[in-house]
Chains A and B, each alone.
Chain A
């Protein structure tokens, strides 16, 4: 008896929907084992992770706040991945966007600059993120450099650049030497949706981005171009689509969205520029993109789910002294299972009993 993977005649639509759920199920089983090994009660830990955050308004808002950058970045990444362009450097584009937008906030600090400040910050952040993402894209198209490596390496460049600015030229003179800029002025801050709450305008922008991506991919010829270049490059060339132009375009768009997410995070929940503004949003968004099946609606759901693990992780740390790093372990295992379960869309498991009749005849 033998277990074989058998190719399906046509991709299974049901499995395409169910596979992320199977992956989540397998991840939870693995986590239960991990909690048990750590000597924690698995049921209580799962409760802290997945149930407790859903029970109070503050945590629910916090989930939406955390999901906002994840969803925005993941939408951009999904466009890249659909087109077979591998942008791994969204974290860097996020940070550069945050830096570029903050530049306006820092320069207008304490002046009587008007309502144009925040929109200008958003535009500049998106432009900076796009330009930063174009570096690996152009290296790929012109010189054939692996965009996976170059985009990833630029993350550390952006990280250190931000570090330099907040420890050096932009440091708040009244900040007791902490590496941070001064708190942004109100005109340089993303407005809250509910007075005294956590939810801010960025979440609305993220929803608009999801809707725009759904229309782009489902209804427009550009979206079709993105999908066909990734799915069948030679057929795409035959269709008259230029893969190199598309690498440039998708990198620029995903860089812009990551940059936008960066400034919204800084000018929103954080309120000033400082190191550590991202708990790895740019990397977690990769998981969000794949868990969401590179589908805008799927990404929205997956973004909320991954945000839940961030909040749940904090609660589990407070309530049960489970290390915060377990959240990252959880996210890593989840990506692993998501990719593994994807093979079930094109293949199915089958038990094979080779040559049953024949074997009984001779031996």
Chain B
């Protein structure tokens, strides 16, 4: 039925005429209830090709690769592998055929060694010794250094990703799927990864590269397929496109530009952290060590860093979800607050937006009005003598809806029924509407569509302009460059001295994110330690 469409599809670059693609989907459709996650998608992947799969969150990228990797069964359409139609029973069949995948979220056991983790993921019958030897050899060949005997919890996120890549490569795949591999890497680590990927391509393998970082895609990929709302928008050569033109295809329109309002002035320090150290609350957690910074009103401080370097622990220590013995370690509005609960800190004028929207920032199965009460009960006049003022909670929902363009099916739905972007707008709105003196926000636009991301970043800038102190933790360096006045980097529970935005180049930040120091003397020291 969909065949005629495919015939009209121009082959990119016209290079592949005559041969058949390595992998092909024809009219691939996946339906969840009434929702079409993938609507009749045709994609051709050729050997020796790095093929980008672009799209916003919810565009259907994950669904498509899950179908190709055999994790889900398509509702309609077909998948062809080397010209032959296949129906994958599961990922292990995909691996046997030569399809490998590296997930964004690793599936590794912290307490096992690298070799043990790899052995668990392989289907083969070779002995553990042979496997370890092969592991070392593959990791050497591709310049992905790994010590097979080390336990995973000791490794950095970049090293953990290497395990996943090596594990996939040990099965000698013809086709490798990578899901946002650079999301957790420093710029330098990303560069190293690109060298590996180029090499795999030169060996004749094909790579499907999922990303939303457009510069990266332009640099690395030969072909790009763009999805939007479950449908394929286009297949193009990303090198012939510009980042804005690719973004337009992804979003389906122009994205509002974020503008820093003029006349922003810094005032008194509103959030001060003095030599904050905190032991980890769970095994293999990160210890916070001697963190100090000062944040003035009117200022946005960005905290960059690879995930898992203590950002979550810092958020818990600032919010009061974890208390510090020494009250003076966290000072909010001039008042020592290290020993105060999250509710007391809110009463001092602090507001918090955690990374996880569902289950941390909101109770998923509760209504928005109840979720407004969740953080608003402290200091927003929603509670009188222990009784809830339902009208006040609903008013907060309405105001957040109006001010931040939260789209929802009815006035007061459950939090879980909103899309990621709309829920995040609600959460940020809920906190900003309280007029906080200090806002601590973690990954404000993680997994959020471009439109919502622009709204949220603008709101943070406006809040700072109004005089609040804003602390933004983000893994997205572009985001920090866009809104932060100063940027500090977290590594192994330590925070670097903040750099002014003008000094904070990608290269410098990348070095700090990888644990190097910017000063040569200390760098030598760090290597020794």
Q: Mark A234-269, 1 if CB is under 8 A from B, else 0.
A: 111111100000000000000000000000000000
Q: State whether B363 touches A235 (Cβ < 8 A).
A: yes
Q: Mark B362-403, 1 if CB is under 8 A from A, else 0.
A: 111110001001110110000100111000000000000000
CA distance A51 to B85 in the complex (A): 64
Segment 226-240 of A: residues with Cβ below 8 Å from B: 227-228, 231-232, 234-240
Q: Which of A6, A221, A240, A357 is the one whose CB lies under 8 Å from B76?
A: A357
User: Within the complex, what minimum Cβ distance (angstroms) separates B223 from chain A?
Assistant: 27
Q: State whether B352 touches A231 (Cβ < 8 A).
A: no
Q: State whether A238 touches B321 (Cβ < 8 A).
A: yes
Q: Which of A224, A234, A236, A354 is the one whose CB lies under 8 Å from B73?
A: A354
Nearest A residue (CB) for B352: A238
**Which chain B residues border A362 with CB–CB below 8 Å?**
85
Instruction: Please judge, given known A-B contacts A235-B359, A235-B360, A238-B360, whether A228 and B366 are in contact too, CB under 8 Å.
Output: yes
- A219 is an interface residue with CB less than 8 A from chain B: yes
Q: State whether A358 touches B364 (Cβ < 8 A).
A: no
**Which chain B residues border A10 with CB–CB below 8 Å?**
413-414, 416-417
Most buried by B among A231, A239, A350, A354: A239
- B343 is an interface residue with CB less than 8 A from chain A: yes
CA distance A45 to B504 in the complex (A): 82
Q: Mark A4-27, 1 if CB is under 8 A from B, else 0.
A: 001001110000000000000000
Q: State whether A238 touches B361 (Cβ < 8 A).
A: yes
- B487 is an interface residue with CB less than 8 A from chain A: no
- A222 is an interface residue with CB less than 8 A from chain B: yes
Q: State whether B414 touches A235 (Cβ < 8 A).
A: no
- A355 is an interface residue with CB less than 8 A from chain B: yes
A interface, how many residues as a size bin? 20 to 34
Q: State whether A6 touches B33 (Cβ < 8 A).
A: yes
**Which chain B residues border A222 with CB–CB below 8 Å?**
386
- A220 is an interface residue with CB less than 8 A from chain B: yes
Q: State whether B363 touches A236 (Cβ < 8 A).
A: yes
**Which chain A residues border B387 with CB–CB below 8 Å?**
219-221
Q: State whether B319 touches A231 (Cβ < 8 A).
A: no
CA distance A328 to B33 in the complex (A): 40
**Which chain B residues border A355 with CB–CB below 8 Å?**
73-76
CA distance A292 to B370 in the complex (A): 22
**Which chain B residues border A235 with CB–CB below 8 Å?**
359-363, 374
CA distance A32 to B308 in the complex (A): 59
User: Within the complex, what minimum Cβ distance (angstroms) separates A232 from chain B?
Assistant: 4
Q: State whether A238 touches B374 (Cβ < 8 A).
A: yes
- B477 is an interface residue with CB less than 8 A from chain A: no
- B342 is an interface residue with CB less than 8 A from chain A: yes
Q: State whether A232 touches B363 (Cβ < 8 A).
A: yes
Nearest A residue (CB) for B363: A232
CA distance A219 to B370 in the complex (A): 11
Q: State whether B375 touches A238 (Cβ < 8 A).
A: yes
**Which chain A residues border B361 with CB–CB below 8 Å?**
235, 238
Nearest B residue (CB) for A227: B366
User: Within the complex, what minimum Cβ distance (angstroms) separates A159 from chain B?
Assistant: 38
User: Within the complex, what minimum Cβ distance (angstroms) separates A218 from chain B?
Assistant: 9
- B154 is an interface residue with CB less than 8 A from chain A: no
**Which chain A residues border B383 with CB–CB below 8 Å?**
221
Q: State whether B73 touches A240 (Cβ < 8 A).
A: no
Q: State whether A219 touches B74 (Cβ < 8 A).
A: no
Q: State whether B386 touches A238 (Cβ < 8 A).
A: no
Instruction: Please judge, given known A-B contacts A355-B73, A358-B77, whether A11 and B33 are in contact too, CB under 8 Å.
Output: no
User: Within the complex, what minimum Cβ distance (angstroms) separates A338 from chain B?
Assistant: 19
Chain B contacts to A: CB under 8 angstroms = 1, 32-33, 73-78, 85, 319-321, 341-343, 346, 352, 354, 356, 359-366, 370, 373-375, 377-378, 383, 386-388, 413-414, 416-417
12 pairs of residues in contact across A and B, judged by CB atoms under 8 Å: A9-B416, A221-B387, A222-B386, A224-B377, A232-B359, A234-B356, A235-B363, A236-B374, A238-B360, A239-B374, A350-B33, A355-B76
Please give me the 5 A-B residue pairs with the lowest Cβ-Cβ distance, nearest first. Answer: A240-B343, A232-B363, A239-B374, A235-B363, A240-B342
